[in-house]
Amino acid sequence: MATSLKNLSDYTSDHFVDISEKRFGLVVAEWNREITDTLAQGAFDTLLKHGAKPENIFRNTVPGSFELTLGAQLLAQHEEIDAVICLGVVIQGETKHDDYICHAVASGITNVSLKFNKPVIFGLVTTNTLEQAWDRAGGKHGNKGVEGAVAAIHMLGF
Ligand code: DLZ
C-alpha cells in the first residue's frame, strides 16, 4: 500500500478517494447468513456508490466468523487486492464462544493487515441477540457493512 505524506493544510475531513481502479475482497461468514448477506450487500452498494467497479469487488464465504482471519489472509495475499472487508455476526450464547471468536478475529485480522500492509476491516457484529444484530444490519443502528466499506475507502486514501 503506497502512501504519500500529507501536509496539514491539505487536510479535509471529506477527502475524496478515487477507488475506480481499486480491488476489494469481501470475506463473509455463513453463520447467521441472512444477516451477513445484508452486511455484504451494504458493503457492495457503498463501494459502488463511491466509484468502485462491480468486477473489482470479490466475495468469498467462510463457514463462521472464526475463519474470517484465514479468509482475509487468502485474499490479502493477492497483489491485486487493495483492501479486504471481513463481515460476520457473532451472537452471545450460553458459553464464552463469542468472546473467543471475537478476540481471535480481532487479533487475527490485525496481523493480516500488518503483514500485507493493506486495510483489513473488522466488520464483525457482536451482539447479545439476533434482534440487536439486525439493528446493525440495515436497522436502527445502520449497517456495519456500509461502515466497513467506508473505513476501507478512508484507509485507501491514507
Ligand atoms: C461455533 C459457532 C458459534 C457457537 N457461534 C457462532 C456465531 O455466533 N457466529 C459465527 O460467525 N460463527 C459461530 N460459530 C462458528 C465458528 O465461527 C467456526 O466456524 C467454528 O467454530 C469452526 O471453526
For 24-63, the pLDDT digits (tens) are 999 999 999 999 999 999 999 999 999 999 999 999 999 9
Question: Are the C-beta atoms of residues 124 and 99 closer than 8 Å to each other?
Answer: no
Could you give the residue numbers annotated as active site? 97
Grid cell, residue 138, equals 440495515
* 129 contact partners, CB below 8 Å, separation of at least 6: 91, 92
* 83-91 vs 120-127, strand pairing mode: parallel
pLDDT confidence tier of residue 22, bands split at 50, 70 and 90: very high
Query: Residue 11: is its pLDDT beyond 80?
Result: no
Which of 39, 95, 97 maximizes ligand 1 atoms within 8 Å of its Cβ, making it the mutation to test the pocket? Answer: 97
Q: Are 60 and 74 in contact (CB under 8 A)?
A: yes
**Ligand 1 cavity residues, CB under 6 Å:** 29, 31-32, 63-67, 88-91, 93, 97, 101
Domain assignments of the chain as residue spans, ordered by start: 23-32+41-156
CATH of domain 23-32+41-156: 3.40.50.960
**Which residue carries 471481513 as its cell?**
86
